[in-house]
Amino acid sequence: MRLSLAFGLFMAATPVLTAPAFAGVDAVLDSHILPGTAAFAEAAQALDASAAADCQPTALQPAWNAAMDAWMGIGHLRLGPQEQATLTIAFWPDSRNSGRRTLARMIESEDPMGLETEDFAQVSAAARGLYALETMLYDPQFNAYDSGSYECSLVQVMVADLAEQATDLNAAWLQKFAPELRNAGAPDNALFLSEAEAEAALFTQLHGGVEFNADQRLGQVMGTPERPAPTRAETWRSGRSLRNLTLSMDALHRMATALAETPIPAVDEAFASVAYFAGAVEDPAFQDVADPMARLRLESLQGRIRAVGDALSLDIGEAMGIAPGFNSLDGD
């Protein structure tokens, strides 16, 4: 679960007067969000087709990796239909190991909930989606199943559930939420009362995605210097912790470029610096975090990611008159 800043409009900056022309929302939708959700839906369907042909881990792993790659392109968008869907598609971090525990219990009892896609949608969010599938495909305690086993059917159901969610998500963006964003300020639009509010909502996702990469994708595994936590690295069993981070940062860079609509050299430079420091990381699963030199590399990378957040606030957020939410920060 993520606790993040919600951004609102910073009144003193009179955003309506100073903000650049309002094409950023269309650009983000057309060049980033909608192609991204379509690609994810396609990848999830390909995974479903692959599982129907062969449920075994080695056969499924390539299509699962492709679906993960596609998710990294849009995983930072936690608004509209994707707010809830994120929990059931990508439940991470799972600090209580709820996903593994639920899957183990289902397998142990051969729970019939795991045999029908419709029933499976009722099980705990932690046992659904991409991260629960990683457990089934890569965790040695789970991935030794045969075709024809309960686990084989379970994986096919998990994949079908994911494909259905991805299709629904893409449709909801296309038919409902993208029009709401484009239609900001219309008299009947209660979600976005002005065009500036739609921009602020997208900026919140952009900035939140960068924070998530620093605080969760790196913060979880780094723990504290005394207690690093290698097994809290994201998808470490499949060895793609760094890949997730890199793909996510690339997607965020594309989103920033589309939203800003004007050249943002300081932001570009900050992203380039992240790519440089990411290149220095030696273990793509961050399993070397207990080694002081490796930790230092992760700390440097985390610092560069935070610098991207600062650059975004300065060059896009402030220029658009966006500041952290008034009430969400207050707490009373």
Amino acid at 176: K
Rounded Cα–Cα distance for residues 278 and 298 (Å) = 8
Residues 47, 223 contacting (CB under 8 angstroms): no
Residues 314, 266 contacting (CB under 8 angstroms): yes
Instruction: Find the shortest distance in angstroms from Cβ 87 to other proteins.
Output: 4
* Nearest CB to other proteins, comparing residues 6 and 59: 6
* Nearest CB to other proteins, comparing residues 8 and 75: 8
**The one among 31, 56, 124, 183 contacting other proteins by CB under 8 A:** 124
- For 42, other C-beta atoms within 10 Å of its C-beta total 17
Find the binding residues for other proteins in span 54-83 (CB under 8 A): 83
Q: Is 6 in the site for other proteins (CB under 8 A)?
A: yes
- For 83, other C-beta atoms within 10 Å of its C-beta total 11
Q: Is 96 in the site for other proteins (CB under 8 A)?
A: yes
Pull the structure tokens for residue 234.
């994201």
Q: Is 220 in the site for other proteins (CB under 8 A)?
A: no
Q: In degrees rounded to 5, what are phi and psi of residue 238?
A: -90, 0
Instruction: Find the shortest distance in angstroms from Cβ 8 to other proteins.
Output: 5
Q: Is 197 in the site for other proteins (CB under 8 A)?
A: yes
Pull the structure tokens for residue 242.
């760094």
Rg of the Cα trace of the chain? 20
Rounded Cα–Cα distance for residues 65 and 44 (Å) = 10
**The one among 9, 43, 152, 247 contacting other proteins by CB under 8 A:** 9
Rounded Cα–Cα distance for residues 249 and 301 (Å) = 12
Q: Is 330 in the site for other proteins (CB under 8 A)?
A: yes
Amino acid at 205: Q
* Nearest CB to other proteins, comparing residues 83 and 168: 83
Instruction: Find the shortest distance in angstroms from Cβ 127 to other proteins.
Output: 12
Burial class (CB in 10 A: 0-12, 13-18, 19+), 183: middle
Instruction: Find the shortest distance in angstroms from Cβ 22 to other proteins.
Output: 15
Q: Is 146 in the site for other proteins (CB under 8 A)?
A: no
Q: Is 11 in the site for other proteins (CB under 8 A)?
A: yes
Mask of contacts with other proteins, 167-196, x by CB under 8 A?
A: --------------------xxxxx-xx--
- Among residues 10, 33, 4, 17, the alpha carbon closest in space to that of 202 is found at 33
- Residues in contact with other proteins, counted by CB under 8 A, come to a total of 34
Q: Is 21 in the site for other proteins (CB under 8 A)?
A: no
Q: Is 18 in the site for other proteins (CB under 8 A)?
A: no
- Among residues 244, 194, 178, the alpha carbon closest in space to that of 33 is found at 178
Q: Which residues bind other proteins (CB under 8 A)?
A: 1, 3, 6, 8-9, 11-12, 14, 83-84, 87-88, 95-96, 124-125, 187-191, 193-194, 197, 200-201, 204, 325-328, 330-332
